[in-house]
Amino acid sequence: MLKKTKLYSILNFKCPRCHKGEFLECRNVYNLKKAGNLREKCDCCDLKYSREPGFYFGAMFVSYALGVALFVTTWVATTVLYPQYSAELLLGIIIALIITLGPYLYALSKIIWANLFFHYEGTTPKKNR
């Protein structure tokens, strides 16, 4: 995958500006003690990840959209592939998926939100910025 794309930064949880530095404090999104905690700034390019207090409140909307997409995709796929399943079973499957994927969706929503506002600029040294 090309380093200059936003998709690279999102899928690898890398800095939106340089695509080298880590975005999250802990690479394991299922470490619940540090779930969703961001680094203050990038180690490589010194990009400050938070523009202002409350900057990542907008990530809630992204998280909601990801949850709805997961719900609809799971509901449609299960209904098409297994039409004999009851609505209660489908809802149970969806709830289990949301709980299981919750920490990942939370971290994913933050990196997507950051990539909406920060753009790739390459890997020029810190002193030239």
Is 1 inside any structural domain? no
- Residue 85 belongs to what domain range? 6-128
Task: Provide the angle, in degrees to the nearest 10, between the axes of the packed helices 87-117 and 59-81.
Answer: 140
pTM listed for this prediction: 0.86
Is 77 inside any structural domain? yes
In percent, how much of the chain has pLDDT > 90? 70
Is 91 inside any structural domain? yes
Structural domain total, the chain: 1
pLDDT in tens, 20-31: 999 999 989 899
| In the predicted structure, residue 42 carries a pLDDT above the cut 80 | yes
Q: Count the neighbouring beta carbons within 10 Å of the beta carbon of residue 15.
A: 26
Is 13 inside any structural domain? yes
Is 65 inside any structural domain? yes
| In the predicted structure, residue 126 carries a pLDDT above the cut 90 | no
Is 53 inside any structural domain? yes
